[in-house]
Structure 1
């Protein structure tokens, strides 16, 4: 017999994250037809304006699941082939032998070997992944920069390869998903954002999910406080930001309710066919941006929860904001969480992020929700 959601435990777990140091967070858990929503803390540390569970939020790389779904739809219709080389479609962006070796599937699961462009677009991040050699200055410098995605792709393609095409482990890179966006544009004759909006967002009936038209978030939202590993003290608000630096890889805004609805419909076979979803759930080993070895599918990541089986979804970060959206493999239990601070862990003398009470509190919230 299914146990009902423990609203009291979820409320307490949410409050614990706030007390551990997150200014504000909000979440939704769904199990069958039962729904819990909660919010704790503030959306503005100066005014004390509270967060609410219906706020819009920059969801970061959760966007990749939406973009991957749009790519899978094109594969279903025969418009593209997952195992065809990207050089067949975009020879100018990925030329020569590399273009012939990197497939669409490798872009989706980050096994292309193409490097992350971000350290080249943001000079103060040049030392990444050595965090102690980075700084936050570029975040301010590029607040209103309108990046050209083709130029960003060029940075990633020109950078030293992080692996051989199809090699293991792969390396997580936003360059892959900017290339997928250009592929969507080529095949559909529209922008990637228009394609994802029409074929995924509108198909799912999501009313509060959209790509931003400018630097400002519309609708009720929280400010977003970036700490950059203690180098920004106190953390600075980056809620006003031009998101062209990530585009169809990580620029979406949404709500926790919309994210849960999207994942529910995706796993019900209403966004892509069951055969496509099965392919999205075929994983390889990938090195995450945090340097951890993770399992990664085609725009989906698995998470094992003791006693509950496997959940699927994606996490995401932007400057100051973080999101996690997960669904159990049976499609019945769903969790979406949004927080308004990022990179709260300070670095030790070797440049390694140190544990923070927020880490354990968030883990406890995820386990309570899942």
Structure 2
């Protein structure tokens, strides 16, 4: 972790568990202005790790017979997804990103459209939306209005936050309460998490770090976005948690304590999905599979929001767990063609992940290295 800090990340904090033993630590600062240090127990915006919580909530409703995985979403949400699209896209396709519905983020943040090729891309939208209150239906409409990224049910998926906002609306429809309330009662509380929840305002409650966004060199020096209205991402990426809570959650999920074994098996049926950074990941129903050479198969999720990155992975046998938080995002600068360039932080993070997942001596292959080091927004 000191290496990650030295490479340029202001603060990094983590918890690693191995066969009943727990290690936690932190390196660097939570505030570059005051020098306040980061601590292992800080709360953090965990981004798309939220998707596993949402997927688990949907699977609970599948177990109760209120949702059918292979039923068309239009049968549940005819106003949101009308017509042929609503008939072709199933709940499963939303969960594993094979719906063909594109991500709404470039339309909610229009100054980011066309990255990296457009020369006038800027951070203006990040500041414009800091306190904006989005409605889920408004964001979903943006995604549905954009050109499809594939045919529903294709052999490969395309990662899209729109899918998980639709799943939030599905939960609301079948449970009669908000998705956030349902997930809190039936996933977060069931797992015994004490420091995890959906934010009720733009500020994080409890001890936390500032969260610095560089936007590939467009923001110099990186700007603090820890105060932000998270309605722009909702049931896709809005959760706040701690690294201890994330390890506890994934441990209980993979042990069949949040959903039953049959549901877990469905969640672990993976296919290739193109992530927002262009890499290909093995994705199930809200779970990301990472196979590390000489170390085993891990399940979990990663995520980013403005200024905050998280990686949480648990080995298939449940005995080895890693959750890591960093308070700087999109640190890579761009070349003359606009493409992000390799940075020392990339290597330092990979070294941290290798040691946390496998101890220092176990190698990771090239393909695995890219999987583990790529945060999925």
Q: Is the 8 A contact 1:86 1:99 kept in 2?
A: yes
Q: What TM-score does the superposition give when structure 2 sets the normalisation length?
A: 0.93
For 1:359, the equivalent position in structure 2 comes to 346
Q: Deviations over 1:174-210 (max 9, x none)?
A: 0000000000000000001001001100000100000
The Cα of 1:140 is off from its aligned counterpart by: 0.5
For 1:102, the equivalent position in structure 2 comes to 89
Following the alignment from structure 2 to structure 1, what is the Cα–Cα distance between the partners of residues 119 and 106? 14
The Cα of 1:132 is off from its aligned counterpart by: 5.4
The Cα of 1:131 is off from its aligned counterpart by: 6.9
Q: How many residues align?
A: 357
For 2:258, the equivalent position in structure 1 comes to 271
Give 2:176's match in structure 1, choosing from 189, 209, 213.
Answer: 189
Following the alignment from structure 2 to structure 1, what is the Cα–Cα distance between the partners of residues 22 and 61? 33
Q: Is the 8 A contact 2:116 2:338 kept in 1?
A: no
The Cα of 1:278 is off from its aligned counterpart by: 0.9
For 1:333, the equivalent position in structure 2 comes to 320
For 1:120, the equivalent position in structure 2 comes to 107
Following the alignment from structure 1 to structure 2, what is the Cα–Cα distance between the partners of residues 304 and 131? 35
Give the unaligned 5+ runs of structure 1: 1-13
Q: Which stretches of structure 1, 4 residues or more, deviate above 3 A after TM superposition? A: 128-133
SS class of match (1:278): helix
- Structure 1 residue 284 corresponds to structure 2 residue 271: yes
Give 1:28's match in structure 2, choosing from 8, 12, 15.
Answer: 15
Q: Deviations over 1:26-61 (max 9, x none)?
A: 000001210010100000000000000000000000
Following the alignment from structure 1 to structure 2, what is the Cα–Cα distance between the partners of residues 131 and 364? 33
For 2:374, the equivalent position in structure 1 comes to none
For 1:222, the equivalent position in structure 2 comes to 209
Following the alignment from structure 2 to structure 1, what is the Cα–Cα distance between the partners of residues 263 and 344? 39
SS class of match (1:40): strand
Q: Is the 8 A contact 1:132 1:347 kept in 2?
A: no
Following the alignment from structure 2 to structure 1, what is the Cα–Cα distance between the partners of residues 337 and 133? 35
Give 1:55's match in structure 2, choosing from 25, 34, 42.
Answer: 42
Give the unaligned 5+ runs of structure 2: 358-377
CA RMSD of aligned residues (A): 0.9
Q: Is the 8 A contact 1:250 1:316 kept in 2?
A: yes
For 2:200, the equivalent position in structure 1 comes to 213
Q: How does 1:9-48 map to 2 (within 5 A)?
A: 14-48=1-35
The Cα of 1:129 is off from its aligned counterpart by: 6.3
Q: Deviations over 1:91-140 (max 9, x none)?
A: 11111111000000000000000011111111101214647553211000
